[in-house]
Amino acid sequence: MSRSSVQKLGVVAALAITTSVLLLLAAGSPSSHAEAPAVATSEAATSHTIITPQPVQSRVIKPILRQLDRYHYINRTLNDQTSSELLDQYIDLLDKQRYYYTVADIANFDKYRGKLDDQLDNGNLEAAFAIYNLYLQRHKERLNYSIQFLNDGGKKLKFDGDEALMLDRSEQPRPQNTAELQVEWKKLAMFDVLNRVLAGDEVEEAAEKITHRYENRLNQLGQTTAVDVFETFINAYATMYDPHTRYMSPRAAENFDIRMNLSLKGIGAMLESDFEYTKVVSLVTGGPAEQAGDLKAADLITGVGQGEDGEIENVVGMRLDEVVSRIRGPQNSVVQLEVVRTVAGVEQPAVVFSITRDVINLTDQQAKSERLELKREDQTFSLGVVKIPNFYSAFGAKRAGDPDYRSVTRDVAEEVLKLQREGIDGLVIDLRNNSGGSLDEVNAMVGLFITDGPTVQVRQTGSRVKTLRDRDPRMLYQGPMAVLVNRYSASASEIFAGAMQDYQRAVVIGGRTFGKGTVQTLTPLIDDGRLKYTQAKFYRVSGGSTQNKGVEPDIAFPVIFDEETIGESALPDALPWDTIPPAKYNLQGAIGSLLPQLRSLHEQRVSNSEEFGYLRAQAKYLDERRSEKTISLNKATRLAEREKNQSRRLELENRRRIALDLEPWKSFTDFEEADIEEEKDLIPDAELQETGEILQDLVLLANNPQLVTTRANAARKIALPR
C-alpha cells in the first residue's frame, strides 16, 4: 500500500497549510509484539500553552462574513442550522480519522452547536480556540504515548501477529475513552516502524528514527500559533460554501503572490502536506528541480540542508510553511533535499539530492508543437500536436501595452501556423494535466478554431448570465481536430474542450475532466490576509455546466485515476452540476454523425493493442489496491504482498516492453532503477498515438470537404490575435 493510500490516516491541521505551495524563491532565507503500556499520561507530559485569539482576528471576521453574504455565488444564511453544520465541519477537519477526540469530547462540544453563528457574528472565537486547544492536547497525548510505547518495547517488536491498521476510520465509531484511542495509536506507531523495517532498517534503528520523528512533531505542535487556529476555523466555515472558497493567512497570501509572479525563482516544485510528510505534487516544467532530474512527483521530503555540505535538518512533521522557508534561498545557491520514495508500497532508503536554486523560465511552460507521423496501409499521415500546459497570460505586460506580451493564444496560433506551413492532415490539442488559467485566453483560443459565435456562458451572483463571444469570423485552422484530455484537465481547459465538442469542431478523447466550473476572486483583508471566494459559474454554449461532472470524452480511454478521490466531485460541498438555456450557435462540423464509426474503429484497434492492454491492466491493478481497507502489521505478510505486487508490476511492464521489441527487465530492481527520461524516449505515448489513429479515421470518414486540410491552403496568412 503506497503512502498516498494511507494519507487518510489523519488530518494534522496544525502542520498543514490549506493550499499547496509552489516552492519559489523569495530572497533570503505480550503477544509476540511488545505490549502497549497502559499509560495515564502525566499532566507534565501533555501540558501546553493555551492559544488565544489575536484582537485583529475578531475584527477581520465581519468583513469575511459580509463578503461571503453579499458576493458569493450561493446564498447561505448564518443561523443555528449553519452553526450545527459548522461544528461538524470543524471537528471533521481536525479529526476526520477519529484518532484524537473521544465520545465524551464530542459530547462536550455539543454545547456550542447552536452558538457558533452568534459567536461568529460577534467576532467571538472562544469555542473555535477551545476545540482546537483540546485537539492539540490530544495530539500531544498521542505522540507522548507512542514515544513511550516505542521506548518501552519498540526495539523488541517482531511484527509476527495478526494485527492490521484500518486505512480509513472516518466512518468508524468514535473511541469511547483514552484506552480505546491508545489501541489505535499503538497500531500507528507499529505501522511507522514496520515501514522503516521494510525499507531496510533494523527494528531498533527503525524505532529510534520514528521516536525522533514523533519528538520532532511534538516540537512543531508547540509552535502552533493563533493564526493557524484562526485559519483552520474560518476555512471550516468558508468551505461550507464551496471547496474553492478559502481564507488565506498573511503568510499564505504571500506564498500566493509569489506563485502568481511571472518571474519565478526557486527550485520549481509544488508541495503539499501529506500527514507528517511534505510531498512533492508536481515539478514546474523547465524549473531547476525538473532539470536536475532527481526529484520526482510523490517524493516525500524528510530533510533539508543548506549548501553542498550543510547538515541535513529533519523536517518530518514540520509545518509546510516552515519546510518551504528552509528550501527557499538566494539564486544560484544550493539546497539539499533528503527524499524518501515509495516503491510497491514500501518506503525506500532515504537519498539526498542537491538542487541549485535559479530563476524559473516560464517560457519553458509555454505551448509547444510537434509532428506525429503515422502510417495507414500505404498512406502516411502527418499530424500536428500542440501541447498546452495552462492558459497563461502576462496580464501586467498586456495592461502596460507591451505588444509582445506572453499569451497562450498567440503562442498556439504561431505553433499552428508553423505546422500548417509544414503541411498536416490533422491537429491534436493536448490538454492533459492542464489546470486552467485565464478566461480571456480560453475565449480567444476557442475563436481560433470556429467562425464567430459564443464560446462560454458565465452565470454570476444573482443569476445574471454573461456570454463571451468570438467576434472574428476568421478561422486559423479549418481542418480535422482532436482534443486530448484527462482527469487533471480543469477549468479553462474544460471550457475549450466543451466548446469544441458542442460545435462538433473536434472529437474529444481521453478521460472525464476534473469538473472545476467556477470562478474565484480575491479580496484583501485588514490582517493582510485574503479571502478567495467563488463569484461565478461556467456553462457551455449548449447550456450544461462543466462544474462537478466535467466534460465527458466522445471516445474514452482506460482510466487510471481514482475518480472518487480526484476531481471536483470528490471534494466536499462542491457546487452541483446544472444547466441554463443554451446560447445560439451554429455547428462547425458534422463529427457527431461519425462518432459511432469512430468508436467502433477505435475499439477494434485497441482490443488487440498491447499498449492499451497495459493501460487496462494497470487500471485494474490500481482499482484493486484502492479497494483495500486495511494494511497488515505482520512483516511476513507485508513482504509476501510486496513480492506479489512487484511480480505483477514487472509482468505488466515486460509484456509491454516485449511488444515494443525492447529488452525485458530482468528484475524489479532493474525496473526501479531505470532512467525515467531515457524510458520516455523508448516508450511511445500510447494515448497520443491512439488519438492520432482516431484522427486518421476522422479524416478518412469525413465526406465534408471542410473537415479535410489541404496543403494548398495550409500556409495562408492569418493575423495573430492581439
**In the structure grid, which three cell numbers stand for residue 46, read together?**
501533555
Which of 558, 561, 542 lies closest to 502, judged by CA? 542
Spatial separation of the C-alpha atoms in residues 9 and 30, rounded to whole Å: 26
Which of 564, 652, 432, 673 lies closest to 5, judged by CA? 564
Q: Is 491 a catalytic residue?
A: yes
* Region of residue 625 (phi > 0: left; psi between -120 and 50: alpha; otherwise: beta): alpha
**In the structure grid, which three cell numbers stand for residue 593, read together?**
454523425
Give DSSP secondary structure letters for 313-363. Answer: EE-TT--HHHHHHHH---TT-EEEEEEE-EETTEEPPPEEEEEE-EEE-GG
Say how many C-beta atoms besides its own lie within 10 A of residue 171's C-beta.
7
Catalytic site residue from 187, 279, 516, 532: 516
In DSSP terms, 386 is beta-bridged to 369, 429
Catalytic site residue from 491, 493, 545, 632: 491
Q: Is 398 a catalytic residue?
A: no
In DSSP terms, 696 is beta-bridged to none
Grid cell 477494434 is found at 604
For 494, residues 6+ apart whose C-beta sits below 8 A from its C-beta are 436, 485, 513, 514, 515, 516, 517, 538, 546, 550, 551
Q: Is 516 a catalytic residue?
A: yes
Contact 331, 349 (CB under 8 A): no
Strand stretches in 590-654, DSSP E: 630-632
Which amino acid makes up residue 628? E
Catalytic site residue from 192, 274, 430, 502: 502
Specify the pairing of strand 277-283 against strand 300-306: antiparallel
The separation between CA 374 and the C-alpha centre of its own chain, rounded to angstroms, equals 34
Give DSSP secondary structure letters for 385-414. Answer: EEE---B-B-HHHHHTT-TT--BHHHHHHH
Write out the catalytic residue numbers. Answer: 491, 502, 516
